[in-house]
Amino acid sequence: MNGTTTTTGHNHNPNPPSPSPTKSFLSPVSKQIFPKPPRILIIGAGSRGTAYAEAALSSTNSLVAAIAEPLAYKRHDFGRKFIWGPSSSPSPGQAFASWRDWVAYEVSRRERAKAGVEEGVEEGVDAVFVCVLDEMHEEVVCGIAGLGVHVCVEKPLATSLRACVAMFKALKGEGEGRGGGRRETIFGMCHVLRYSPHNMLLRHLVREQEVVGDVLSVEHVEPVGWWHFSHSYVRGNWRKESTTAPSLLTKSCHDIDWLLWMLCSPANDADTEPHLPSHITSTGSRKFFRKERKPKAAGDATNCLSCAHEQDCKYSAKKIYLDKHLKEGITDWPVKIVNPEIEDCYNTQGLEAASNKLLDNLREDWPADMPTEEVEKRPWFGRCVWEADNDVCDDQCVTITWDDDPLASDDDGKPILRHRGAKTAQFHMIAFTEKQCERRGRIYGADGEIEYDSKTIRVHDFSTGRTQVHKPYQAGGGHGGGDEGLARQFLMAVNAADSQEMPTARAQRKYLGCDLEEAFLSHAMVFAAEDARTRRKVIDWRQWWNDAVEPNLHQR
């Protein structure tokens, strides 16, 4: 009998075998209470550092113990919100102007603790969230890896393959623990798409329940959002490959990771080799945000606030930041990215003062004689989107192909291809969309088809003709609950390792479902795709890995 049934996250009970992250797609997860709450250092008080501080505090009883941030206003604003409170000042060990200052303090703190020359030496931290600019990840992670603290890194891991290799090597080494011993550490990669209730249910249906049988093809789309792309990738920090990285890495590395998690990684915690792709190809370019597309009415204007076309332009910085956000009472992202003090100004002096402060920022434009290196050091949020110095792709497609790769044969010598048969994944990152980062796609299997967006999963069974609609629990916070899910699972792994509840490697797999090797693999796939795009070639994965990666991993 044909028909459609609907299943919500609250009454669907698939009884997944892995107890830790997977059940959070059923209903809200209780706040995790640790007997000894992990102490956290956040490096970088921007939007992502703030997001993980909020996620850690809302999902666990962990303590945000310290902040390292060079901008004094952001450092103290963060501290007042999460560490020492609105009416206090930082105590020793709570606030640092740089990560290097924290390292120096931590080395000294350990020396004082070992020497026993002082009573009441401050407590250190157990875990660090690295939330600085992408291009700084390498120096920070390599600089703290030897201290033996658990590390969670905002995506992407780094902006070049060379830097990823350097970080991989640093993190694989053993560091000195807080007690002075040597120990393994938990590694977290902020591929938050893995940890949203929606995506955990989707993977459970595909890989564990096998509701569509063997997967043959996937189409996955990241709709960035028309004004979001202009904010971050035309005017903002991620606009130039030379200073950050290609947009496939900075925006969509966790989409490539998601595809590998769905199609490549083992279905559960069993020790099974991943089904690695055979070939990768990619096409993409900066199609729209370039001078050739500039409306004639804009003339020679390079800034929105001095442009005759501004009132008719949907990319007007004034419309996006002032009309669309600040006038609606939104003082957080993206307005706070333009000026970190806007929220405080709005709350204490009102809309008019905040608007004037915001417009002053939007009027800023670089003069013709400003050196290029000075222009590239900062974002310019009032700059004309067709006159900016951006060069990253605003439209890109990646195709990943798998060949048959059986691990064994049956009694008749027939290859066993369960989850290891030939398949294809197509990924599309596109700027010009109504939806903002609300992924959508289709999964085509031998027995059925899945259609998904960020809220609903529709499973159609070929044999019965029935369609079942799943509506996972909608968690709050960033990335559909992925921020909170990642923070919770990372801190659960930290707690399990530090309390010696289980070996560190087991805690890594049980609670995070991903380790450093898997995170490194998905980043390497992005770099291979970029090689394919820029060289206009089809990349043989194994050959590329052997040529570009393997020699560097073993080089001393």
Please give the Cα distance from 221 to 356 (Å, whole number): 38
Q: Residue 474: its pLDDT value, please?
A: 79
Phi, psi of 315 (to 5 degrees): -95, 10
410-428: b or e for each residue (b if 16 or more CB lie within 10 Å)? eeeeeeeeebbbebbbbbb
Q: Which domains does the chain have, with CATH numbers?
A: 32-185 (3.40.50.720), 214-289+391-445+516-553 (3.30.360.10), 291-375 (no CATH)
Distances (CA, A) of 248 to 159, 251, 404: 11, 6, 27
Output the six-digit token pair for 286: 């900066």
Determine the length of the chain: 556
Q: Residue 313: its pLDDT value, please?
A: 98
Output the six-digit token pair for 313: 């332009």
Please give the Cα distance from 327 to 468 (Å, whole number): 42
> What residues does 150 pair with on adjacent strands?
127
167-180: b or e for each residue (b if 16 or more CB lie within 10 Å)? bbbbbeeebebbee
- Would residue 281 be called left, alpha or beta, if left means φ above 0 and alpha means ψ between -120 and 50 degrees? beta
Q: Residue 25: its pLDDT value, please?
A: 65
Q: Residue 15: its pLDDT value, please?
A: 35
Distances (CA, A) of 159 to 144, 245, 276, 526: 18, 5, 23, 11
- The number of beta carbons lying within 10 Å of the beta carbon of residue 141 is 25
Distances (CA, A) of 180 to 176, 219, 459: 6, 49, 53
Q: Residue 26: its pLDDT value, please?
A: 63
Q: Residue 43: its pLDDT value, please?
A: 98
Cβ(220)–Cβ(259) under 8 Å? Answer: yes
Q: Which of 157, 187, 165, 333 is closest to 249 using CA atoms?
A: 157
**pLDDT tens string for the chain (556 positions)?**
456 666 655 433 333 333 344 455 666 778 999 999 999 999 999 999 999 999 999 999 999 999 999 999 999 999 999 999 998 899 999 999 999 999 999 999 999 988 876 677 899 999 999 999 999 999 999 999 999 999 999 999 999 999 999 999 999 884 444 444 447 899 999 999 999 999 999 999 999 999 999 999 999 999 999 999 999 999 999 999 999 999 999 999 999 999 999 999 887 655 578 999 999 999 999 999 999 999 999 999 999 999 999 999 999 999 999 999 999 999 999 999 999 999 999 999 999 999 999 999 999 999 999 999 999 999 999 999 999 999 999 999 999 999 999 888 888 888 888 889 999 999 999 999 999 999 999 999 999 999 999 899 999 999 999 999 999 887 777 778 899 999 999 999 999 999 999 999 999 999 999 999 999 999 999 999 999 999 999 999 999 999 999 998 877 6
Q: Residue 179: its pLDDT value, please?
A: 45
Angle at 463 between CA 460 and CA 464, to 5 degrees: 70
DSSP 485: H
Going edge to edge, which strands form the sheet with 95-96?
95-96, 63-68, 39-43, 127-130, 150-153, 187-189
